[in-house]
Amino acid sequence: MTSSSRLECVQGDIVQQDDMDAVVNAANAELRPGGGVAGALHRAAGPELDRACRPLAPIAPGQAVVTDAFDLPNQYVIHCLGPVYGVDSPADELLAACYYNALRLGEWEKVDSIAFPSISTGAFRYPVTEAARIALSTVTQHLPDFPRIKRVRFVLFDAATTELYQRTLASFNEA
């Protein structure tokens, strides 16, 4: 099975990925609810998620930790801290580390499927064209190392970001 046959980019909401074993949180260092993806996941998971996160915090940029998903329709939440663009450096390596470490944790937990949001491209202001290239190249490059993970889905919130991710993925497949 090739990396590209295991990878898709769709428009949607990260809290509604009923058919995925794990969802990834674009977390803050303290693993608190916050806004964006983190706020949505904590609201949908319920207060137990916040309680489960506390002993694991703080985390560093590029790091990933895993908890149960509580009231979400998934088994696990993998929390990643992306780089704040212009503050944490090297930003590209830290962003790539998020995706790599999330896949590594997923493989360790024996998950079959993982859904990612576009880490760092909201409140953390990472330019989305560059972030999409890093996200998709990291996952494409490393999926062969993680054979248990059969499906990876990027869940993008708006149509423009979805098209950008789809175009970026297609450009890799043409190369």
Which of 19, 35, 127, 170 binds ligand AR6 (CB under 6 A)? It is 35
| Binding residues for ligand AR6 restricted to 95-154, rule: CB under 6 A | 117-124
Q: Give the separation between CA 70 and CA 79, rounded to whole angstroms.
A: 14
Give the nearer residue to ligand AR6 in terms of CB position, either 82 or 106: 82
C-alpha torsion 135→9→64→127, nearest 10:
40
| Residue 142: other Cβ atoms inside 10 A | 17
| Residue 166: other Cβ atoms inside 10 A | 18
Quick check: 161 binds ligand AR6 (CB under 6 A)? Answer: yes
Q: Give the separation between CA 32 and CA 90, rounded to whole angstroms.
A: 24
Give the nearer residue to ligand AR6 in terms of CB position, either 68 or 158: 158
Quick check: 36 binds ligand AR6 (CB under 6 A)? Answer: yes
- Map tokens 């999926």 to a residue: 143
| Binding residues for ligand AR6 restricted to 50-79, rule: CB under 6 A | none
Quick check: 91 binds ligand AR6 (CB under 6 A)? Answer: no
User: Could you tell me the smallest distance in angstroms from the CB atom of residue 146 to ligand AR6?
Assistant: 22
Footprint on this chain of ligand AR6 (rule: CB under 6 A): 13-15, 26, 28, 34-38, 40, 82, 117-124, 155, 157, 161
